[in-house]
Structure 1
């Protein structure tokens, strides 16, 4: 039975592949292909060249001294391509079960059977991997760390490593769990722990500086209150922009990031002043209106989109706006809010608002969408937003 070749896909390298491969009983060999643009690195150099040597695969067999090792090919999504060949095309022969039985290395110039070798590759993005190469692998998506896992990694591994590198004892620095949790939530929103490691090392270095200058006596406690003294102001302060019910013109959507699912707010407002519509209504009611009023009423509205949105999202917004305008202009009944008064009671507080179908509201809605200057914005404009399907809702009161 031929073993499948695995591709571990994760938004950020999580040390899964290295630790899992090293903990097995297989002979383990790892090499990175990030930025590799020379086919000879994989298939070897011909012996006619000065300084020729075998490729990485033959070097692996030489080092492990077995015919069925475990080979980890790291950063396969960052393969380069130059005048010396295409390494991705060279990997096709290596990862194809029908061809790697007779793998030919240019240095040895003899065929080598690689059918018993287990190949595992790692990647951060699947889009940059060539389609023929991706079809030869079984893709396994590895999720990122959750908050509890990051807290355990920071306490058991990152903090002891940082204190040891700075020459500090364990009793000289104490970091509260709440401080680490605040680091994770407000400073290090990522799937891995690289940024968290940098912040912990920054804290340890500042504590070591304070101890050397005798500014504070050990042990130094770092908690959530004095955390900003060591790492500065937080980058993210809150997950919600609106604490209560969203106002008219704001809707909530779902987004996917390297941390998982998150809430995305979509804000929409009308840029034209209220007197514009008053002038429009006056023009419709009086046929002998001035030319200026007619010019204002015939002005078509525009749709402005901001927030670092992708091309597909902008096209989806334009389609949704066109559909909403045509749907309202087709005479479809729209909902309107009416006040119902209780005649049996003299108390005006018993009045209730009900949402009822009103066919006359469709023409007003169509006119509003056609003549309004609508500005749609998605917060966090510095973050690019790309998706396949994007639907937005417009709420007007």
Structure 2
């Protein structure tokens, strides 16, 4: 029970009374209030109070009015002991009761009983209450407050005609501060929670002072309400008069063959134009269109075209900027980390921009380009950027767009002409500084209607887009406040001039451990909620998610991982529904994955078990991340025919021809006859023949496989390589090193040969990957051969030790010589 302050004292004696809870009504002592009662328990409590408790009842207000059967925590601690003066039953089953407040009282939830039964023998709520003995007597301060309230009551009675003069007169005769406050409160239209605060105030002077503040506020509100009503009434009369005059004008225009008055519309449009913050040059252009509009008939087709054009210009947010929130780097970092795991470089670049924005008043919007494989979060991180800056977000998909008018708009001479997507989006969000994400910028194409990528050159150039000229508007529009973000899967599809205008930020694929963390922290909670499950309904073992990543998905992002998690959630939901047990727990283990997701879709650890002749492990970059690329070479007796299969692109076919030319130029050092190629047919094959393969990074892999087959020396099965070769044997640098090393790690490779010029890129590779791999930079093909071929006893190159290699042809020559001798 609460303690009492000031002079209010709790009576040592308690009493038990029927209790009724009130909704949005607070009963005060010394006040008389009529209430309509419809709840069964409340009616029972009133009837019992009349029959057995001398018409006394305890009234207490609910904290939440919507509760039908409130518990102890749903009721305030202080209420009012009231007396039932009159009770009237109504035909609809409710009763109208006239209550008179008697005294404040606290009720004891532990000793009281809250029941809500129905029926003839139903029980009713009972409360054990302690009446508050309020302080008596009035100080000098209290007398001053009483006089002030009396004066305000007279003014309140004048402005509020709903309060009866008799009630004002009755309150004006009260001299006790507490009694006066209690009688004034029921007449004030304030929230019930504030009334409850007044009820709980036990100091009479303090209570009256707060009531006085509320009374003055009510007088002010009522006065304003009267003024507003008078103004609205005058406006309505004015509108009615205008309506009558407009109807007369319409009738005159109708008689003259005109449905509407173009002059009135033009005048309204000109007023809107004057209020728009645009340049004088643009304003003058629009005024010329308005001048033409005044001379046209509304029924003409040209009138509609001009009117639509003016409406578009007036609807654009020319200088309407949404206030960015005060930039807080810590909160922005928190938002980015909440939405995405990893992606440190993109996040750091965004935080740099926000930091600069705090130091300069105006800053041209940057042009960022997120490049990465599907599913790594390019578009979603753009959304997070908008959220961290508290700006509107617009996403425009440019995949398959081939019409320049999608960007620049159509000229008004065409039927159905409209502005481009950029201008349309700005009209929709009504702000001139949103975050616009141009998705799939590498998927645009060109045809006879123009090249949309060329149209983007002006949009995405910070030095030009302050005066972007849309064909439909034919006016300079400022796009420099817009924060543009573009996304692409690969840079090859973006023209170089367009790349030059953007800051390229690469989003690499996720590591295994990163995917596991993303699944735990982001994907699982999202899918569990989406499928109507509770977190306790589904439990994953420690290695179950790791096995899903390894054996059921093969991607750089997490899109397929989310699909597999969703599949498990669906099957778990089906089990719970079938068993009709909402509390059932489904355990997901390594053993249960095959039953949930079917047989394993991929293998983990793709290398061969043994070293083989003519088989070499290559590394390739794809849109889905890194992949192991097996190269096989077979030799057959023949006349020098070279066959290349595996659906290889032109670049890889050229690499194969360059590899063969390099081997022929080095035949002496390799111990091969100069015309070895005329005696055998060579078949080069890259398995998984249905998948197209191309790119300038398989040169040394093809060369090593060819040398292995020609010398009959196996290639190390635990080694992989990447790099392009020249005819002189130099190893050229490649791209996508991070993804390729991830693929090597996934394939259980121990050693990787990379071009020496790519050694600087190793800093972008996670340390967890590098600690499990031996990465060896190489400059020439000679180094590759020495490290790649599984030849422990002999050197491969004759010019290094002066000893011929173990080549098949040389062995045959030696056997023939010994036979002749």
TM over 0.5: yes
Aligned to 2:66: none
- 1:57, distance to aligned residue in structure 2 (A): 2.7
Structure 1 residues 57-136: aligned runs within 5 Å: 57-81=422-446, 84-136=449-501
Calculate the TM-score normalised by the size of structure 1: 0.75
1:207 aligns with 2:572: yes
Which of 210, 224, 236 in structure 1 is aligned with 2:602? 236
Q: Against the structure 1 CA distance between its residues 163 and 375, is the aligned structure 2 distance closer, same or farther, given a 3 Å change threshold?
A: same
Calculate the TM-score normalised by the size of structure 2: 0.38
Structure 1 residues 169-318: aligned runs within 5 Å: 169-214=534-579, 218-244=584-610, 246-258=611-623, 260-272=625-637, 300-318=639-657
**1:192 match: secondary structure:** coil
Question: Which protein shows a greater Rg?
Answer: 2
Q: Against the structure 1 CA distance between its residues 157 and 373, is the aligned structure 2 distance closer, same or farther, given a 3 Å change threshold?
A: same
Q: Against the structure 1 CA distance between its residues 107 and 240, is the aligned structure 2 distance closer, same or farther, given a 3 Å change threshold?
A: closer
- 1:82, distance to aligned residue in structure 2 (A): 5.1
Between 250-259 and 197-206, the greater mean CA deviation after superposition: 250-259
Which of 383, 388, 395 in structure 2 is aligned with 1:23? 388
Contact 2:553 2:602 in 1 (8 A): no
Contact 1:39 1:84 in 2 (8 A): yes
In 1, distance between residues paired with 2:403 and 2:516? Answer: 41
1:143 aligns with 2:482: no
Aligned residues, how many? 339
In 1, distance between residues paired with 2:449 and 2:624? Answer: 38
Bigger helix share: 2
In 2, distance between residues paired with 1:28 and 1:182? Answer: 37
In 1, distance between residues paired with 2:398 and 2:423? Answer: 16
Which of 339, 364, 367 in structure 2 is aligned with 1:5? 367
- 1:26, distance to aligned residue in structure 2 (A): 4.1
- 1:63, distance to aligned residue in structure 2 (A): 4.7
Q: Against the structure 1 CA distance between its residues 214 and 92, is the aligned structure 2 distance closer, same or farther, given a 3 Å change threshold?
A: same
- 1:326, distance to aligned residue in structure 2 (A): 4.4
- 1:185, distance to aligned residue in structure 2 (A): 1.3
Between 263-272 and 140-149, the greater mean CA deviation after superposition: 263-272
In 2, distance between residues paired with 1:300 and 1:270? Answer: 11
Mind listing any 5+ residue stretches in structure 1 that lack a counterpart?
273-298, 335-360
**2:389 match: secondary structure:** coil
Aligned to 1:279: none
1:27-73, Cα deviation, whole Å (9 max, x unpaired): 43332222234444333445566765543333444455544433221
In 1, distance between residues paired with 2:434 and 2:459? Answer: 14
**1:203 match: secondary structure:** helix
In 2, distance between residues paired with 1:39 and 1:160? Answer: 42
Contact 2:374 2:624 in 1 (8 A): no
In 1, distance between residues paired with 2:528 and 2:488? Answer: 31
- 1:121, distance to aligned residue in structure 2 (A): 0.8
CA RMSD after TM alignment:
2.9
Q: Against the structure 1 CA distance between its residues 169 and 116, is the aligned structure 2 distance closer, same or farther, given a 3 Å change threshold?
A: closer
In 1, distance between residues paired with 2:503 and 2:633? Answer: 43
Mind listing any 5+ residue stretches in structure 2 that lack a counterpart?
1-362, 713-821
